[in-house]
Structure 1
């Protein structure tokens, strides 16, 4: 009781104080950390191939596409064989995926991922045969080949099995060679301007980027929309656009963020943004504990009563409710005030989730509540 009264006194004192709550200082970031030059991006590649050298863990006879692929491959080498003569248990049909980084040159090596598409049990120890990798336009931009590293295993014997990771998916570091470059013009109208695309579109951040560039190079930018800023290249940088972009990317700004509370109910994780504020609200937190016990008693009859011994079971119910801690959160509380107040009432992460949801339902939480 004394603890509850002390908590209420502290809460009342906090409400009566008129000292304004200062916003938490925001960290600055470089423009290159919050935006990228439009047109500079990677491209996805995909291909279909065969993995050979498997120790009996390849596709079965039911994977007809694997058999057909083997027949076509052998035919290209001048070997004529019928599908009925093949036993593809040492071969597996796979799909190969890769990302072609921007400005990759012919002869550069990129990593590829190999995934089984049949009923193979494992790709461990296999080797990918030469496979063309195509983009969405159907053109071949890389060729992959090499031994596969699965990083896992699968073993079974006597009805027992053991598996680590996913042996039907593997990687080949530097397993593909780039055969064709992807043109990526990042300037418009004969190298007169570039466009910066924001990673998180925001009106305030776009305006701050425009102001930071203008303060360094003069009035050369236009915030087109929350997601892009158009930058005109100064005439003295027309022959050195790369240096101009590097100078722009290094300019510091303070990006604005949306007030958001992210909750992961599965793990009990709560992440509160620095801009989260609340109106004045009272929070009570407590718990109810119910215990049900059973005892066994023996009823013995008096002597010479011709009675019999009887065993009885008694059930007892005990309900206890812990005293709820009550605390008042003053208006315009910062994220630090919210966390300190919830800790003051002894709230666990699960309790914090319930409390934040209740505060949001009460209309006192000024933030977006995202539940994962």
Structure 2
């Protein structure tokens, strides 16, 4: 029943009509110079309510380094009272036990054309023994690119949606409390060089490589701005001649990305999520002639505990007896036949006739692919 509802819902999106819809170029392709860059850094989160790393070595070393840079010598001689207390606790001189501090990795994505002073979001993830980052504050952290240069500086209060609560031996976790975000928590400090201003051509990359889509975009540009304005490089990229003046180039690319084109039909795919039982079948899926039968054998064992009573005046003893009944049942699911070139609607109708569950549907699709009858790419995630 679940599989039937699922697949019927899928039909609404893909089989509603054969209408052809045009898409904007900006929804199909992007400027190569506008690519984003990944940033990473190591930092410390403070202000945690005892859920930090404690005496973890690299957290302690990092905190000492920060304190030393701020002019505080964490290894200075302690008072006699403090020394006596540390000896009693068998702790080394100058040791820090910072349960309200956690070592974290900070990551961010630097957008294309980002300029110094702009704000970007950052992700913060614990790497030590910290159990919860909720309520913490990230200290000044440098974010570096793949070239080792600092491109952004991050700092600020964490926004953690995960909750972790424990009491009396019971524990409840909602979300991931060891990961958090800081919206607008990093400031861009360095400009990433890109060829958009200097190159004669602006290279555009289609989001999914397709010769038909690339050709459609090229034809739309040449039709509106003259032959030779755009030239296809391969299934993924095309080069567009743009004005040398920067302001004119920006205005020209604005007009290009708002052109409407009819993209090519995507490759036939069947995507199966084996964990949730979700199945997505694209509109172009076809099946060659095949006969499918699906059924499962159910075995039920029931046990009844009884007591055997001895005959009167027989000097016997009562004896426990267990009676078991075994029943085997096999549903009479009909076999259905796929005719050559059957489309999505017929596939769904045929599978629904046997009342296939999501797991059964996955098994049927995998068997069809193995037999060579499924004319589509089967992706199991």
Is 1:287–1:324's contact at 8 Å kept on the other side of the alignment? no
**Which residue does the alignment assign to 1:4?**
none
1:348–1:57 CA distance, 2 compared to 1 (3 A) = closer
Q: Determine which of 161, 167, 178 is the counterpart of 1:151.
A: 161
Is 2:20–2:262's contact at 8 Å kept on the other side of the alignment? no
**Which residue does the alignment assign to 1:111?**
121
**Which residue does the alignment assign to 2:279?**
270
The answer to whether 1:169 aligns with 2:196 is: no
**Which residue does the alignment assign to 2:89?**
none
**CA deviation after TM superposition for structure 1 residue 201, in Å:** 1.1
Taking the aligned partners of 2:315 and 2:177, their CA distance within structure 1 comes to 76
Q: Determine which of 13, 21, 27 is the counterpart of 1:33.
A: 27
1:288–1:122 CA distance, 2 compared to 1 (3 A) = closer
**CA deviation after TM superposition for structure 1 residue 265, in Å:** 2.0
The answer to whether 1:53 aligns with 2:47 is: yes
Taking the aligned partners of 2:362 and 2:164, their CA distance within structure 1 comes to 40
For normalisation by structure 1, the TM-score amounts to 0.81
Computed over aligned residues only, the root mean square deviation of the Cα atoms, in angstroms, reads 3.0
Is 1:54–1:90's contact at 8 Å kept on the other side of the alignment? yes
Taking the aligned partners of 1:157 and 1:65, their CA distance within structure 2 comes to 30
Alignment of 1:249-260 (within 5 A): 249-251=257-259, 252-260=261-269
Is 1:191–1:238's contact at 8 Å kept on the other side of the alignment? no
**CA deviation after TM superposition for structure 1 residue 95, in Å:** 2.2
Q: Determine which of 38, 63, 67 is the counterpart of 1:70.
A: 63
The answer to whether 1:216 aligns with 2:224 is: yes
When structure 1 is superposed on structure 2, of 164-173 and 285-294 the one drifting more is: 285-294
Per-residue CA distance 1:144-172 (angstroms, 9 max, x = gap): 22222222343445544444333332222
Per-residue CA distance 1:49-80 (angstroms, 9 max, x = gap): 2222233332222x222222222222222222
Runs of 4+ in 1 over 6 A off after TM superposition: 296-311
| Stretches of structure 1 lacking an aligned partner (at least 5 in a row) | 1-22
Per-residue CA distance 1:292-329 (angstroms, 9 max, x = gap): 44567888899999999887655444333332313322
Alignment of 1:84-233 (within 5 A): 84-85=93-94, 86-186=96-196, 190-220=198-228, 221-233=230-242
The answer to whether 1:290 aligns with 2:283 is: no
> Number of aligned pairs?
346
Taking the aligned partners of 2:341 and 2:143, their CA distance within structure 1 comes to 56
The answer to whether 1:337 aligns with 2:346 is: yes
State the secondary structure of the residue aligned to 2:255: helix
State the secondary structure of the residue aligned to 1:107: coil
| Stretches of structure 2 lacking an aligned partner (at least 5 in a row) | 1-16, 77-92
Taking the aligned partners of 1:127 and 1:300, their CA distance within structure 2 comes to 75
1:82–1:193 CA distance, 2 compared to 1 (3 A) = same
Taking the aligned partners of 2:168 and 2:311, their CA distance within structure 1 comes to 65
**Which residue does the alignment assign to 2:9?**
none
Is 2:243–2:249's contact at 8 Å kept on the other side of the alignment? no
1:146–1:277 CA distance, 2 compared to 1 (3 A) = same
For normalisation by structure 2, the TM-score amounts to 0.79
**Which residue does the alignment assign to 1:14?**
none
